[in-house]
Amino acid sequence: MATNGVRAISALADPTRRAIFEALPHAPRSVGDLAEVVGVSGSAVSQHLRVLRAARLVMMRPDGNRRLYSLDPRGLADARDYFEQFWPSAIAAYSAALQTAEDQTA
C-alpha cells in the first residue's frame, strides 16, 4: 500500500499535473484559469485535479457557481516526511564521499 508521500510524488510525476500544481502557489484558480495557463482542456484539467486532490496536493472550495483550487499543505508535508526518512543515509553517503575525496587529495 502506497503512503500519502508516495501518492504525492507519483501525482507530480506527470508533467501536466506538475504544471497545474506549479500554477497554484500564488492564488486559488478555477478550472478554466488552469486550463488557459497549462494549455489543455478544462475536462483534462478536471481529471488531473482529481488525482492531485486524491494525493492531498490541492484542495477545492466553492465560490459561487465555480470551484477554486489551491495548494493543500498536507500533501507537501506527506512528501517531505517521505523524503526525510532517507535524509540520514544521504548525509552519511555525502560525508563518506567528501572524506574519500579528501583522502585522495591528501
pLDDT of residue 70: 97
Residue pLDDT, tens place only, 67-83? 999 999 998 898 899 88
According to the 3-state scheme, what is the secondary structure of 47-58?
HHHHHHHHCCCE
Q: What is the mean pLDDT of residues 90-96?
A: 87
Range scoring the smallest mean pLDDT among 29-33, 37-41, 102-106: 102-106
CA distance 62 to 64: 6
User: Any idea which residue has 486550463 for its cell?
Assistant: 35
Residue pLDDT, tens place only, 48-71? 999 999 999 999 999 999 999 999
Written as one letter, the residue type at 63 is D
The domains found in the chain, sorted by start residue, are: 4-105 (1.10.10.10)
pLDDT of residue 2: 58
Which letter, b or e, does each residue of 53-82 get, where b requires 16 or more Cβ atoms within 10 Å of its Cβ?
A: bebbbbbeeeeeeeebbebbeebeebbeeb
